[in-house]
Amino acid sequence: MFTGFALLGWFAWPQPADDSSWADKNFIAAFDGFFPISHAEGDFVAARAHRDGVNDLVEFSVVIENTDNSRAMRGILREAQGAPLYQQLAALHAKDPAKPYDQLKQDLKVQVWRFTADQCPAVAAQYKAFESITFVRPRDDATDEHPIMYQFHESVGGGDSEVMEYVESRAFPKWANATHKAFQACAASAAAGSAKP
């Protein structure tokens, strides 16, 4: 079943150094909480992305669950809304520095979409595409000073594996970006369909 919710835009502004330090300390807890990739139903593949240092990337995650029932296969897309999660966190802290993260997290804006394979053919297609990826030991490729960090988790047949990548031209990041784009298209299509009278 497709689910989602509308959110208002978020405007970020430059943060003082102490706000950035506080955000640095609390970002991982927020990222793990809003973009989980370690647990899902049945066999699953999952990826998430963020950029350290400049924190200008709207964070996202994609999860594809493949249970024993092929009709129950589903995809999950999560995206920060209005501004990157890191910037939202720093802005909330600047607005009310006395509040701890646990009291601010309810105001962070992350949207979640869930699709069945029937609603979004990309769910099955991208699961199959992931199965065909061949892992190649990373070389010391030249990267940006602040690369996008891609984290992957695969759980199949009771075995788990994790990969961290930071070069977008490699197979895992290319898969994550393609899946993200395909799931965004499914979300847009579902939104357009629900808007029709």
Where residue 140 falls among pLDDT bands split at 50, 70, 90?
A: low
- Predicted pLDDT at 139: 65
Q: Reduce the DSSP state of residue 42 to 3 states and report it.
A: coil
Q: For residue 44, which of 71, 69, 74 has the smallest C-alpha distance?
A: 74
Render pLDDT for 41-71 as a digit per residue (tens, 0 to 9): 889 999 999 998 778 899 999 999 997 676 7
Helices (H) and strands (E) in the chain, counts: 5, 6
Q: Can you read off the two tokens belonging to residue 39? A: 């647990």
Q: Do the bridges between strand 159-165 and strand 60-66 make them parallel or antiparallel, or are there none, so unpaired? A: unpaired
User: Sorting pLDDT into bands at 50, 70 and 90, what band is 190?
Assistant: confident
Q: Over 70: is that where the pLDDT of 142 sits?
A: no
Rounded CA-CA distance 83/108 in Å is: 10
Higher pLDDT, 39 or 137: 39
Task: With cut-offs at 50, 70 and 90, classify the pLDDT of residue 7.
Answer: very low
